[in-house]
Amino acid sequence: MKLDILALAAHPDDTELGCSGTLLVHIAKGQKVGVIDFTRGELGTRGTPEIRDQEAADSAKLMGLAARENLAFRDGFFVNDEAHQLSVIQKIRKYQPEVLLVNAPADRHPDHGRASELSVRSSFLSGLKNITTEENGIEQEAWRPKAVYHYVQSDYLKPDFIVDISAHWDKKMESIMAFKSQFFDPNSKEPQTYISSELFIKSIEARALEFGRTIGANYGEGFTVDRTIGVDSLFDLK
């Protein structure tokens, strides 16, 4: 299955928080979108890996993802080495995305920056034909996405561009709250965490409102780019 957009994430719920609105924008346009989660989030204080697995599946169904997989890397301990790169390369070549969305290059959670580096390196290496990977015993073709963009996460990063997600804000929030073990639930008896407070959910909306305002929209999601980006026409800019 060839995808138009593939989002890579250190943890289940990273894409929901960082770029699900943008994924929904493109799904609504009829494009095929998928997510690869690197870990099962097993170091999380609340819930269990099995609960997170089900929550990720529920969110994928809600958003209408064409594919979602989990590489089961060790949460908190995966590294940017050959073995992990080959695993990511195999998925990039499997889905052959035109665009790759990846974790923020620096963020509060150290896994996010490490996942970003792993994703960027793997994206480049995936285009080298002399690196061999297989899918179901069949050698894969080299494939390099046309673009790699980083979604902004917890720490504020000045975005290089912002996507208007106003029409899909409610569904973005539904996708986030599919991870009900992780986020605000007044009836939960589990320990409170940085992301389980009601204020955290409000901060997600505040960030989206801020990004939206800067482009004349209600809600937006911001992205950074490692290279200079260009447009074909001045009229493509908002």
Helices (H), 144-197: 169-177
- Calculate ∠ Cα 48-59-212, nearest 5°: 120
Match 């509060």 to its residue by tokens: 108
- In this predicted structure, the answer to whether residue 181 has a pLDDT above a threshold of 90 is yes
Q: How many domains does the chain have?
A: 1
Q: Is residue 154 part of a domain?
A: yes
pLDDT digits (tens, 9 = 90+) for 153-164: 999 999 999 999
Q: Is residue 148 part of a domain?
A: yes
pLDDT digits (tens, 9 = 90+) for 199-230: 999 999 999 999 999 999 999 999 999 999 99
Using an 8 Å Cβ cutoff, are 221 and 18 in contact?
A: yes
What does the DSSP assignment read for 144-156? --SEEEEEP-SS-
Closest by Cα among 39, 35, 109, 104 to 74: 39
- Calculate ∠ Cα 207-36-98, nearest 5°: 85
Closest by Cα among 214, 147, 148, 152 to 17: 152
Beta bridge partners of 100: 6, 148
Using an 8 Å Cβ cutoff, are 64 and 27 in contact?
A: yes
Binning pLDDT at 50, 70 and 90, where does residue 236 land? Answer: confident
Q: Residue 64 sits in a domain of what CATH number?
A: 3.40.50.10320
Backbone angles phi, psi at 223, to 5 degrees: -135, 150
Q: Is residue 129 part of a domain?
A: yes
Residues 6+ apart with CB under 8 A from 62: 171, 174, 175, 178
pTM, two decimals, is: 0.96
So what's the pLDDT on residue 238?
81
So what's the pLDDT on residue 237?
86
Beta bridge partners of 148: 100
pLDDT digits (tens, 9 = 90+) for 18-43: 999 999 999 999 999 999 999 999 99
Q: State whether residue 61 is helix, strand or coil.
A: helix
Q: Is residue 235 part of a domain?
A: no
Closest by Cα among 168, 150, 167 to 159: 150
Q: How far apart are the first and last CA of the chain?
A: 33
Q: Is residue 223 part of a domain?
A: yes
Q: Is residue 137 part of a domain?
A: yes
Using an 8 Å Cβ cutoff, are 24 and 165 in contact?
A: yes
How many CB atoms within 10 Å of residue 224? 17
Q: Is residue 125 part of a domain?
A: yes
Q: Which two tokens stand for residue 212?
A: 């939206």
So what's the pLDDT on residue 155?
97
Rounded distance between C-alpha atoms, residue 47 and residue 182, angstroms: 7
pLDDT digits (tens, 9 = 90+) for 59-82: 999 999 999 999 999 999 999 999
- For the segment 179-199, the average pLDDT, to the nearest whole number, is 93
Rounded distance between C-alpha atoms, residue 155 and residue 175, angstroms: 21
pLDDT digits (tens, 9 = 90+) for 40-60: 999 999 999 999 999 999 999
Q: Is residue 236 part of a domain?
A: no
pLDDT digits (tens, 9 = 90+) for 101-141: 999 999 999 999 999 999 999 999 999 999 999 999 999 99
What range does the domain containing 50 cover? 5-229
